[in-house]
Structure 1
Amino acid sequence: MDFNSSDAVAGPRSEDILPSSVSTAVKVVIVGGFGVGKTTLVGSVSEIRPLTTEETMTQAGVGVDDPTGVPRKSETTVAMDFGRISINSELVLYLFGTPGQQRFWFLWNGLFEGALGAVVLVDTRRLEVSFDVIGRLEERGVPFVVAINTFPEAPGYPVEELRAALDLPDDVPIVGCDARKRDSSRDVLMALMRYLYSLAVKTEAS
């Protein structure tokens, strides 16, 4: 489920220019294990031409990257994905997709700098690849929601079973999505915004 946008860009398009009405910009990171659909989500929802850093997988990754569950995957993100979406006329989200392989996790420090929240994209065929990702977010204190990417052949589980398997607190939202579809991916980001708002209200009330 890769979204590849490698066409050369001659110059900014009119839709790439940030509207003058925008007063708030928020950085959001899209994280997850190898091959869960992060590049696809950023590409499907971005209102500008997404930046991707996908490279063809080579022998260098053999024995290092685990392709279990994604045998047809031929390209992988080696730095980051970048996109932008306007929530309304004043609020814009800048989306940064992280590489999934552990050998590229040293890049996460920079990508997480200044991030308000995160989306953890999960493939139910390979829940185990999400454990370390969620652990790193919890260590950093970055609020996040979990989005279950609905791959056609992936098994479905009740939300509470997924919550228990991922060892998530009761207040962390779990939502379903199809990362290929713009509306579905936008709903995930809106769930994150609502969650961040609820945390802010709770902090103010305490």
Structure 2
Amino acid sequence: MDYKTSDPYTGPRREDILPATAAAAVKVVIVGGFGVGKTTLVGSVSEIRPLTTEETMTQAGVGVDDIAGIEQKIETTVAMDFGRISINEQLVLYLFGTPGQERFWFLWDGLFEGALGAVVLLDTRRLEVSYEVVGILEERGVPFVVAVNAFPGAPVHPVSELRAAMDLPESVPIFTCDARDRASCRDALMTLMRYLYSLAHTTPEPQ
């Protein structure tokens, strides 16, 4: 479920220019374990040609990157993915996809800086690859929603079981998403925006 563009870069295109009506630009991070579909999501939903840093997997990753369950994967993100989507005429989201391998997690510091929130992609065939990802977001105080990427043949679990497995509070949205489908990816981003809005307008409990 990887997305890759092979078009040569020839400079910004007319459709790459930020709309003149845009009043706010928000940074959103697409995060998850190795091979969960982050590059695919960014490529599917971006209204501009996405920037990807995919490289062919080599022997250097043997014994280091856990490819159990994704043995067919031949390319991987080594820095970040970048895309953009206009939610409406005023609001634009800049999307930053993180590398999933633990050896590249040192890059996350810069990618998380200034991020309003995150979408965590989950692969139900390999739930364990996302446990530490969620822990890092919680430690850094980055609000997030969880999108279960609908891989063909992947086991389906009730939301309550996924919430318990990930040890997430009831307030964190968990939903199904197909990273190959633009409308589904846009819905995931809208769910994050609604969640962030609810957090901003929640009255703190009196001390």
What do residues 117-160 of structure 1 show as CA deviations (whole Å, max 9, x unaligned)?
00000000000000000000000000000000000110101100
- The equivalent of 2:19 in structure 1 is 19
Instruction: Measure, in 2, the Cα distance between the counterparts of 1:188 and 1:63.
Output: 34
What do residues 76-132 of structure 1 show as CA deviations (whole Å, max 9, x unaligned)?
000000000000000000000000000000000000000000000000000000000
Instruction: Measure, in 2, the Cα distance between the counterparts of 1:95 and 1:26.
Output: 9
- The equivalent of 1:182 in structure 2 is 182
Q: Structure 1 residue 8: deviation in Å?
A: 1.1
- The equivalent of 1:58 in structure 2 is 58
Aligned: 1:172 with 2:192: no
Amino acid at match of 2:26: V
Unaligned runs of at least 5 residues, structure 2? none
Distance 1:12 1:205, change over 3 A: farther
Amino acid at match of 2:97: G
- The equivalent of 1:120 in structure 2 is 120
- The secondary structure found in structure 2 opposite 1:157 is coil
User: Greater share of helix residues, 1 or 2?
Assistant: 1
- The equivalent of 1:136 in structure 2 is 136
- The secondary structure found in structure 2 opposite 1:12 is coil
Instruction: Give runs of ≥4 in structure 1 deviating > 6 Å.
Output: none
Amino acid at match of 2:103: R
Aligned: 1:98 with 2:90: no
Distance 1:46 1:126, change over 3 A: same
Q: Structure 1 residue 6: deviation in Å?
A: 2.9
Aligned: 1:161 with 2:161: yes
Instruction: Measure, in 2, the Cα distance between the counterparts of 1:129 and 1:34.
Output: 7
Percentage identity across paired residues of the two chains:
77
- The secondary structure found in structure 2 opposite 1:202 is coil
Amino acid at match of 1:45: V
- The equivalent of 2:77 in structure 1 is 77
Q: Structure 1 residue 11: deviation in Å?
A: 2.2
Q: Structure 1 residue 204: deviation in Å?
A: 7.5
**Contact 1:31 1:120 (C-alpha < 8 Å) held by counterparts:** yes
- The secondary structure found in structure 1 opposite 2:199 is helix
Instruction: Measure, in 2, the Cα distance between the counterparts of 1:112 and 1:6.
Output: 27
